[in-house]
Structure 1
Amino acid sequence: MDRLQFEVPVRITPAPGLPVEEIYGVEQALDFLQGWPAHRQGPVYQKAFNACFGATVEVVKTEEACRAFMAFCRVSGLMAKDMMTPPKRGGQANGLRA
């Protein structure tokens, strides 16, 4: 497995009426974040961007980048309703509640 690939793809709905997209790794998350409107970039966006960029230069673990990107998606209302959270160490995956 590619070191920058997320353990579980992050499922997002980029806009109402559009199909669900799956973000499979750090590079795809960065591409998505770079297209995010500047006037909507707040602290949660910046944390996700920094974490994803940090993962590309091996300063941040991919797992941390995934968590930061998921937090951004949740806060921004992008997270697909059927998205499962990645399993915690030694645990089971958890479903998000609507």
Structure 2
Amino acid sequence: MEIAPPVLIKGPGFDLREIRSVPEAIEYLEGWPANARSPFWYLASNALHGAVDGSMQVEHAREAFEAFCKGAGVLLV
């Protein structure tokens, strides 16, 4: 499931990452520290898993993931 347009996020240092699919976004979220998971993390996770099972449109899951990234300060704008 492709995410269009891709979500660009900042990593450590000058590292940039382009999230291009729902599975990539889920993998990124799963790597987020458990003690730093905000309500936006849970919303994004639920939305992305909903996109996988067909109960959520991919566009809406992308928006939720982007909102999480923005709130976490990792969204490249």
Which of the five TM-score ranges fits, normalised by the shorter chain?
Answer: over 0.9
Amino acid at match of 1:47: L
Structure with a larger share of its residues in helix: 2
2:23 corresponds to 1:43:
no
2:26 corresponds to 1:30:
yes
TM-score, with length taken from structure 2? 0.95
- Partner deviation per Cα, 1:5-24 (whole Å, 9 max, x = no partner): 11101000022x13210000
Offset, 1:42: 1.4
Select which of 65, 71, 76 maps to 1:75: 71
TM-score, with length taken from structure 1? 0.75
Instruction: Name structure 2 gaps, 5 residues minimum.
Output: none
Answer 1 or 2: higher relative contact order, Cα 8 Å, separation at least 6: 2
Offset, 1:79: 0.6
> Deviating runs (4+, > 6 A) in structure 1?
none
For the pair shown, which has the larger CA radius of gyration, 1 or 2?
A: 1
